[in-house]
Amino acid sequence: MGKGLFLNQDYKSWRYNRHFFTQAILSPKFSNEAVHLANKLFNELESYWDKLYLKEGVIKENRKKMDISPWFNQFTNDMIITLLTGERSYTMAGYFNELSDDEKAERPSALVDETVKFVHAIRKHLMGLLIFQFVSPFLRHYFPYFKNKSDDFIRNMKFMNQRIDAIIKRRRQEIENTPLDKPLQNDMLTSIITANTPRDINYNKIGDKEVMRPMTDPELRGIIFDGIVAGTDTTANTISFIIYYLAHYPDVKKKMLNEIDRIFQDDKTRPITENDIHNLKYCEAIVKEVSRIFSVVNSLPRCLENPDEIGGYQWQAETIIRINIDAIHHNEEYWEEPDKFNPDRWMVEEFEPKKNSFIMFGGGLRVCPGRKLAMIKLVGLMALLFRKYEIDLVDKEAPLKTESGILTACTELLVEIKLRN
């Protein structure tokens, strides 16, 4: 942690990592792969929903209710891990196995167990970081309670690192064994390993010297880990919030369904394309408006390089400040009727929010490099879900259940799901 992007405070190392991450994630072949994978994983998700909530016997028993938020977590986990590492992830299958009484997912159980363990280790690692941030080294060494926690954290980190290192090793070997005229996979790891080598289509021997050297395994591990962490819960919780807002704003939902039906006509099964995603402007407006009203990331940390005046007060260099995203997204100086949920505000021709007033993806040098991928996932998932299914909240009066830490996470979203007529 701290060696990749997210918590990396060494500017030179961050800049180097960021260059490769951005180059890989913004490439057309990566976006293509993301759309292809979204279709594939959605088919898998549907096969599990069908067995658990939609088939006839289940409907008769009135078991069609589900907590949809963990499904979104598993879906985005599988998508991000596969896109970043080039190795299939099976956490949806693991979740299905956990819920299903009799049938098991048609996936090799060893692979399912392995990915479930890996994702569990990542979550455990994130929780455990608190112990290193807030508990002093003295307590961690000499107080058995903290020492046990700390030892467990280190064991877990070793397991996680070994797992990522093994993936990197396999990918390096695969690249080495693939003849130069044969195509490679489109995942991020492959792109980064081959960057600045003759396999790179943009290969240019005389470039910026600082970014010409190949990446080391610990650097690769750092950015793959950060990408998995930053790209999963952000997207999964945002789609849960979208479902919640759509259920409370039937006019918005109707307009969205009209847009989706206009684009897909009656075809509820053809794969969605990047072009469809580009044309779903109202869906994109909904993503932005939900994120403005109820942003999954609630604040951004920044450190002042020089003394500065902020909010009418003088602050010394190296002061750490937190930018309150909610306050900016609801500020009357920037937004007309800021508390009104109104996706149409984004549909006004040439509408652009005032500078730095819409920061769902942050801003400046550190702006989220995954924003294009996030939009592909969110708009794509909205189209795949709503062209085929009717999704309603079980209890419209119930408040949205959330828990706030670094992110605002949806802890439960009970819905009823059925096929649209």
For the chain, the C-alpha Rg in angstroms (whole number) is: 23
Of 117, 149, 157, nearest to 131 by C-alpha is 149
The correct pick among 238, 240, 342, 408 for binding ligand HEM (CB under 6 A) is 238
Contact between 231 and ligand HEM (CB under 6 A)? Answer: yes
Tokens of 201: 């289509």
DSSP 405: S
Residue 187: exposure state from Cβ atoms within 10 A (0-12, 13-18, ≥19):
buried
Q: Name the minimum Å distance from CB 215 to ligand HEM.
A: 15
Q: Which residue has the tokens 């399912």?
A: 112
- Among positions 163-202, residues that touch ligand HEM (CB under 6 A) are none
On whether 410 is known to bind a ligand per the annotation, the reply is no
Contact between 143 and ligand HEM (CB under 6 A)? Answer: no
The correct pick among 39, 341, 362, 416 for binding ligand HEM (CB under 6 A) is 362
Report the SS3 class of residue 380. helix
- Among positions 244-303, residues that touch ligand HEM (CB under 6 A) are 296-297, 300
The correct pick among 70, 227, 343, 380 for binding ligand HEM (CB under 6 A) is 227
Distances (CA, A) of 419 to 53, 178, 299: 11, 44, 38
DSSP string, 201-225: TT--SSS-GGGTSPPPHHHHHHHHH
The correct pick among 78, 187, 226, 284 for binding ligand HEM (CB under 6 A) is 226
Contact between 215 and ligand HEM (CB under 6 A)? Answer: no
Binding mask 1-30 for ligand HEM (x = CB under 6 A): ----xx-----------x------------
- Among positions 400-419, residues that touch ligand HEM (CB under 6 A) are none
Q: Choose the binding region for ligand HEM from 30-38, 138-146, 260-268, 356-364 (rule: CB under 6 A).
A: 356-364
The correct pick among 153, 346, 358, 361 for binding ligand HEM (CB under 6 A) is 361
Q: Name the minimum Å distance from CB 103 to ligand HEM.
A: 32
When the beta carbons of 272 and 379 are compared against ligand HEM, the nearer one is 379
When the beta carbons of 252 and 360 are compared against ligand HEM, the nearer one is 360
Contact between 70 and ligand HEM (CB under 6 A)? Answer: no
Contact between 222 and ligand HEM (CB under 6 A)? Answer: no
Angle between helices 68-85 and 109-134 (to 10 degrees): 100
Number of residues that bind ligand HEM (CB under 6 A): 26
Q: What pairs with residue 391 in β-bridges?
A: 417
What is the Cα–Cα distance from 45 to 92, expressed in whole angstroms?
7
Angle between helices 68-85 and 217-248 (to 10 degrees): 150
User: H or E stretch including 418?
Assistant: strand 414-419
Of 97, 53, 102, nearest to 74 by C-alpha is 97
Distances (CA, A) of 258 to 252, 386, 407: 10, 10, 32
Q: Name the minimum Å distance from CB 5 to ligand HEM.
A: 4
When the beta carbons of 21 and 53 are compared against ligand HEM, the nearer one is 21
Of 406, 417, 412, nearest to 67 by C-alpha is 412
Q: 237, 296 in Cβ contact below 8 A?
A: yes
The correct pick among 29, 268, 366, 388 for binding ligand HEM (CB under 6 A) is 366
The correct pick among 128, 222, 369, 380 for binding ligand HEM (CB under 6 A) is 369
Which residues are annotated as part of the binding site for heme?
Answer: 368
Report the binding-site residues. 368
Site residues (vs ligand HEM, CB under 6 A): 5-6, 18, 80, 226-227, 230-231, 234-235, 238, 296-297, 300, 360-364, 366-370, 373-374
